Chain A
Amino acid sequence: MTPVILLTGFLGSGKTTLLQRLLQDPSMAGAAVLINEFGEVGLDHHLLDRIDDNVVLLKSGCICCTVRGEVADALSNLDSLRARSEIAFDRVVIETTGLADPYPVLQTLTAHPVLRSHFTNGGVLTTVDAVNARLQVEHRAEAVRQIAAADRIVLTKTDLTEPGEDQALRDRLTRINPAARIMTTEEPVETILGGFGPAAFAAALVSHETHQCGPACDHEGHHHHHHNAHSDHNAAHHDEALGVTSFSLVIEGEIDWTMFGTWLTLLLHKHGDRIFRVKGILALEGEDRPIAVHGVQHLVHAPTHMTHWPDGPRQSRIVFILEGLSPEQIRRSFAAFTGLSGVRAAA
């Protein structure tokens, strides 16, 4: 299976600059690149030094709907060329437009009857412009969805910000997506790209548990541990301006996979358009190893078996990023459907 890395981020947030840098790294020599551009004339590809058979320009503009077919066609075409030994590549990078919701592309990878046997989700990398991020996330829903879908958030233009601004932004991004790792473009390429997958995923969930808030973070997790486990209605990150809430279900006891799958499928069927992200590490009945589940809106990726539990307590944890839904109601629903009593909502 060839990993597909989705590079997304709002207009002008530095996606192409980051892509240029990534492609210069020797580890990316075998990457094929799909570039999508919004507007009548594509420009971004002219900014890339590397124009070869492995760079495909998607011409249909907005990626939201129509280009899903084009992404599928482009990937199928790359795969056919590789099968005929006309090109070689070991991973694919798709650069979306600045206005794209990453969900349709991820869904294409998972649902396409042919592509899903050849390509796998290699992670979502979202660039965030440290100077303009505040305005973008408050006024553009696309920017929030891109951040919520991220496995990695790469802060750009940090050299143009005042001291202290970065930390405030990091805290805010953590409120929107507590499970993503945040880094800057100065990090080495292997740090930016390395370790996608179940191990990094578990590490992100665990580091979220021990997240240290800065002064600008209104995360109330510092306090809620003193509350009764079932009544901590503040046990969530909530960004008032955006209406985005993130929280975790922390679950004692082993989960019945069948009922969990039925519940999550029903939850996403009814409310998937308001659930930007679900990420979880689960202790299942009859399984020694933890299972990682990972979903974006209505889409759930195939769960993966992890090799071992990360350090810390062996308990299930599911992070939700959503808008307009009550964490307490989700906690109650989960407990009622799975029959587990030790379920609490935590920030």
Chain B
Amino acid sequence: MCSLCGILGCDDHWTNAIARPGVYTRNHDMPARRAEAARRLKAANDILSYRRVKLDVWQGRSYVVTSPTGASSVFEALSHLWPEAEALAGRDFDPLDDALISWMEARGDA
């Protein structure tokens, strides 16, 4: 159940609806599932590190974001990632912000 809105099964994010190993194979092929989960964490952390926020899996079922001062917040669905991360960082993540774009470009060049 989603802790914010109380709706069952709300981690049905649109990014899940794609036939790729580790996405549809919820009850078998654990290595593929773990690989997909790791890819998602890495993609999110690439962006979150801009404000020194870190995302991790919490107890295998939920997610936790942690700020540089050690504050943390647990949530159950990736769809809540950005509001949670912004609340913790105290600033927003705007993908059209020049500074964030330049920072992502620099990471890509590194």
Chain B residues whose C-beta falls within 8 Å of the C-beta of A336 in the assembled complex: 101-102, 104-105, 108
Chain B residues whose C-beta falls within 8 Å of the C-beta of A287 in the assembled complex: 20
CB of B96 within 8 Å of the partner chain:
yes
A335 CA / B81 CA spacing, docked (Å): 22
Contact partner of A330 (CB less than 8 A), chosen from B13, B83, B96, is: B96
How many A residues have CB within 8 A of the partner chain?
35
Q: Mark B27-70, 1 if CB is under 8 A from A, else 0.
A: 00000000010011011101100000000000000000000000
The reply to whether B95 and A270 form a contact with Cβ atoms under 8 Å apart is yes
Of A39-47, A70-78, A257-265, which binds chain B?
A257-265
A256 CA / B81 CA spacing, docked (Å): 19
A287 CA / B44 CA spacing, docked (Å): 22
The reply to whether B19 and A305 form a contact with Cβ atoms under 8 Å apart is yes
When C-beta atoms are compared, the residue in chain A nearest to B42 turns out to be: A258
The reply to whether B18 and A291 form a contact with Cβ atoms under 8 Å apart is yes
The reply to whether A262 and B104 form a contact with Cβ atoms under 8 Å apart is no
Chain B residues whose C-beta falls within 8 Å of the C-beta of A305 in the assembled complex: 18-19
- The secondary structure that dominates the A interface is helix
A63 CA / B71 CA spacing, docked (Å): 41
The reply to whether A337 and B47 form a contact with Cβ atoms under 8 Å apart is yes
The reply to whether B14 and A325 form a contact with Cβ atoms under 8 Å apart is no
Q: Mark A307-324, 1 if CB is under 8 A from B, else 0.
A: 000000000000000000
Q: A278-314: which residues lie under 8 A (CB-CB) from chain B?
A: 284, 286-287, 291, 293, 300-303, 305
Q: Chain B nearest CB: distance from A247 CB in Å?
A: 14
The reply to whether A262 and B47 form a contact with Cβ atoms under 8 Å apart is yes
- The secondary structure that dominates the B interface is helix
Given contacts A113-B9, A301-B14, A302-B17, A265 and B96 within 8 Å (CB-CB): no
The reply to whether B93 and A270 form a contact with Cβ atoms under 8 Å apart is yes
A269 CA / B13 CA spacing, docked (Å): 13
Given contacts A291-B18, A302-B14, A336-B104, A266 and B39 within 8 Å (CB-CB): no
The reply to whether B43 and A113 form a contact with Cβ atoms under 8 Å apart is no
The reply to whether A113 and B104 form a contact with Cβ atoms under 8 Å apart is no
Chain B residues whose C-beta falls within 8 Å of the C-beta of A263 in the assembled complex: 95
Q: Chain A nearest CB: distance from B104 CB in Å?
A: 4
CB of A67 within 8 Å of the partner chain:
no
CB of B3 within 8 Å of the partner chain:
no
Q: Chain B nearest CB: distance from A109 CB in Å?
A: 13
10 tightest Cβ-Cβ pairs between the two chains A and B: A261-B15, A302-B17, A336-B104, A300-B14, A269-B82, A262-B43, A336-B105, A258-B39, A339-B108, A258-B43
- Known A261-B13, A262-B44, A265-B13; further 15 A-B contacts with Cβ < 8 A: A113-B8, A113-B9, A113-B10, A258-B39, A258-B40, A259-B43, A261-B15, A262-B15, A265-B79, A267-B95, A270-B94, A303-B18, A333-B95, A336-B101, A336-B108
A-B contact pairs, 13 of them (CB 8 A): A113-B9, A116-B12, A256-B43, A261-B14, A262-B15, A270-B94, A270-B95, A286-B20, A293-B14, A301-B14, A303-B14, A305-B18, A333-B96
